[in-house]
């Protein structure tokens, strides 16, 4: 597990961007953390890194937003999802096991639907500093760990 401190919104977005540049087709990024932790900010960075232009917001009233970048990006948010059947109606497997990058906010709400190989990222707020976040990167299963190399470098450069 890799833990990175982010001192402000822009650093969280930059971390997302670094990951987005390295993200590969079929990659699953499972985000968790409280309301306002920074999951959407991080996602905006991933989208930029994946070559998506335009605004990326939480898919609040739909289950998923699809963006076209270097590869497709499927942005899910499980916050308002009540039952996993809704996901299967949407044809989740085609996304999760397709050629795009899948990113899920509130992924921990329905852990059983998540593919075995994924990158989990938990974002925790600091209880002391308003703008500080801790990002816990947890590769699960056969995830290619090299996606995390540049993030390690960013952290060790003292940012």
Ligand X SMILES: Nc1ncnc2c1ncn2[C@@H]1O[C@H](COP(=O)(O)OP(=O)(O)OP(=O)(O)O)[C@@H](O)[C@H]1O
Q: Residue numbers of the site for Mg ion (CB under 5 A)?
A: 39-40, 58, 105
Only segment of 36-44, 90-98, 109-117, 149-157 that touches ligand X (CB under 6 A): 36-44
Q: Minimal distance in Å, beta carbon 57 to ligand X?
A: 9
Specify the 3-state DSSP secondary structure of 151: helix
Which among 142, 146, 124 has a CA at the least distance from the CA of 4? Answer: 124
Q: Residues of 117-132 as b/e, b for ≥16 C-beta within 10 angstroms?
A: ebbbbbbbbeeeeeee
The footprint of ligand X on residues 98-157 (CB under 6 A) is 105, 131, 133
CB of 35 to ligand X, least distance (A): 4
Q: Which residue is nearest to ligand X (CB)?
A: 38
Assigned token pair, 65: 């937003």
């Amino acid at each position: 597990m890799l833990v990175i401190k982010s001192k402000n919104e822009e650093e969280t977005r930059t971390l997302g961007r670094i990951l987005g540049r390295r993200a590969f087709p079929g990659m699953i990024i499972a985000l968790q953390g409280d309301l306002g932790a920074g999951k959407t900010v991080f996602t905006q960075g991933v989208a930029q890194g994946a070559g998506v232009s335009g605004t990326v917001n939480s898919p609040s009233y739909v289950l998923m937003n699809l963006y076209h970048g270097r590869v497709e990006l499927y942005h899910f948010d499980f916050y308002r999802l009540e039952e996993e059947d809704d996901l299967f109606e949407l044809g989740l497997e085609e996304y999760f096991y397709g050629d795009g990058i899948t990113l899920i906010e509130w992924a921990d709400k329905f852990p059983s639907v998540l593919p075995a190989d994924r990158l989990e990222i938990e974002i925790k707020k600091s209880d002391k500093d308003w703008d500080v976040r801790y990002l816990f990167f947890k590769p699960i299963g056969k995830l290619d760990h090299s996606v995390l190399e540049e993030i390690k470098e960013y952290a060790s450069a003292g940012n």
